[in-house]
Amino acid sequence: MRTKVGIIGGGPAGLLLARLLHRAGVDCVVLESRTRAYVEQRQRAGMLEQGTVDALREAGAADRLTAEGLVHQGIELRFDRARHRIDFPSLTGGRTVTIYAQTEIVEDLVALQLAEGPPLLFEAEAVTVEGPEGDAPVVRFLHEGGERTLTCEWVVGCDGSHGISRGAFPAGACRTYAHDYPYSWLGVLADVAPSCDELIYARGEHGFALHSMRSRRVSRLYLQVPNGTDPADWPDERVWDELAARFAIDADWTLRRGPITAKSVTPMRSHVHEPMRHGRLLLAGDAAHIVPPTGAKGLNLAVSDVRVLGRALAAWHRNGDTQLLDRYSEICLARVWQATRFSHEMTKLLHAQPNGDAFEHRLQLSRLRRIAASRHAAAELAAHYTGLPLTL
């Protein structure tokens, strides 16, 4: 099989890139190792920056997002047993965010791609990328019981943090910067109306909790837990009791409880792979960088990478212009490092140290109080949370 752009991975990055290339008239093929049902059900992100919503609109993939997405004008920080609202429009010159699940984005993009093209192969697992230094890199992949090849002009690795694309960079051609955090998140999905209109980021006495949502009827909640936690040790009652304790305030507010339909543990880590290009192999999304989820940046970064890449590959296709491709890594990494720092700061600000360090806790509270009291401090948080411009 031959194509111009071989895309490894059918997550949000790979699917949106395919859609952008298709609309720019550039041939491509997407290889996805899992089944359609698996990729459409994998519970992950939910908070979209304005730029991410705009990108999905420009790609003609936002009909349902426009109808069903929940536009939020702010978030609540909860600490000192009180609520403190950060109002985005007044702090950022009118910006908002939208709550719309990653599962829905993937479902929308898969449906469009299967209806209109380009080819999307499920249960097609890439095993190697060969010859990225030359003009015709080849992806070897397993599909329908045999090994096949996809010969490309460019290969884009959108295969997430456990993919194979990064491994095709020769040693010495890349560097990985990594940081592991000493805690994880227990995430639950519950069939109950959210207990809030906007997301709540809480620094409870015993650690972090986040109240998010998937719709007006489904809540999504997260709890800081120790690394190595087994979800089986968290029966539903225990989850609700701990969430209620971390969200508790000295005012009239109750956490609505309901049936929990999914439960999983995610470790918190940060990871940046530099550069994001080697010859004719490019990386995008989680394949190149992971951030801890506290800043809600992972999916948004994946989308901003492919917006830059879509433009760069379209320019190359139109007239052979590689200027943007040559600057791809530099343009994306500027934004990636800003998001990495913001995600790190949000994580450090809101989580309890496992050793219960009282000095750290005092510093966190003093920073949180400053954000609540100072328009300047709140504006900095709001600017990052709602999303920095595509090119910095």
Residues that bind ligand FAD (CB under 6 A): 8-14, 31-34, 39, 44-47, 102, 125-126, 158-160, 163-164, 185, 187, 266, 285-286, 293, 296-300, 302
Which burial class, exposed, middle or buried, applies to 339 when counting CB atoms under 10 A from its CB (0-12, 13-18, 19+)? buried
Using the minimum distance from each CB to ligand DHB, give the nearer residue, 98 or 364: 98
Q: Is the peptide bond before 275 cis (omega within 30 degrees of 0)?
A: yes
Q: Please say if 385 is a catalytic residue.
A: yes
Out of 50, 92, 195, 212, the only residue in the binding site for ligand DHB (CB under 6 A) is 212
Residue 220 binding target from ligand DHB, ligand FAD, none, CB below 5 to 8 Å by type: ligand DHB
For 86, the token pair is 């950060």
CB 107 within 8 A of CB 5: no
Q: Which of 181, 183, 328, 385 is catalytic?
A: 385
Q: Does residue 118 belong to the site contacting ligand DHB (CB under 6 A)?
A: no
Q: Does residue 74 belong to the site contacting ligand DHB (CB under 6 A)?
A: no
- Three-state secondary structure call for residue 278: strand
Q: Does residue 45 belong to the site contacting ligand DHB (CB under 6 A)?
A: yes
Q: Provide the minimum distance between the beta carbon of 251 and ligand FAD in the complex, in angstroms, as a whole number.
A: 27
Residues 6 or more apart whose Cβ sits within 8 Å of residue 155 = 5, 6, 7, 8, 129, 132, 137, 139, 165, 280, 281, 282
Q: Provide the minimum distance between the beta carbon of 116 and ligand FAD in the complex, in angstroms, as a whole number.
A: 20
Q: Please say if 376 is a catalytic residue.
A: no
Question: What Rg, from alpha-carbon coordinates, does the chain have?
Answer: 21
CA 64, chain centre distance (Å): 20
Which burial class, exposed, middle or buried, applies to 107 when counting CB atoms under 10 A from its CB (0-12, 13-18, 19+)? middle
Using the minimum distance from each CB to ligand FAD, give the nearer residue, 72 or 278: 72
CB 109 within 8 A of CB 115: no
Using the minimum distance from each CB to ligand DHB, give the nearer residue, 33 or 212: 212
Which spans of this chain sit near ligand DHB (rule: CB under 6 A)? 45-47, 199, 210, 212, 220, 293-294, 296
Q: Hey, which residues are catalytic here?
A: 72, 201, 293, 297, 385
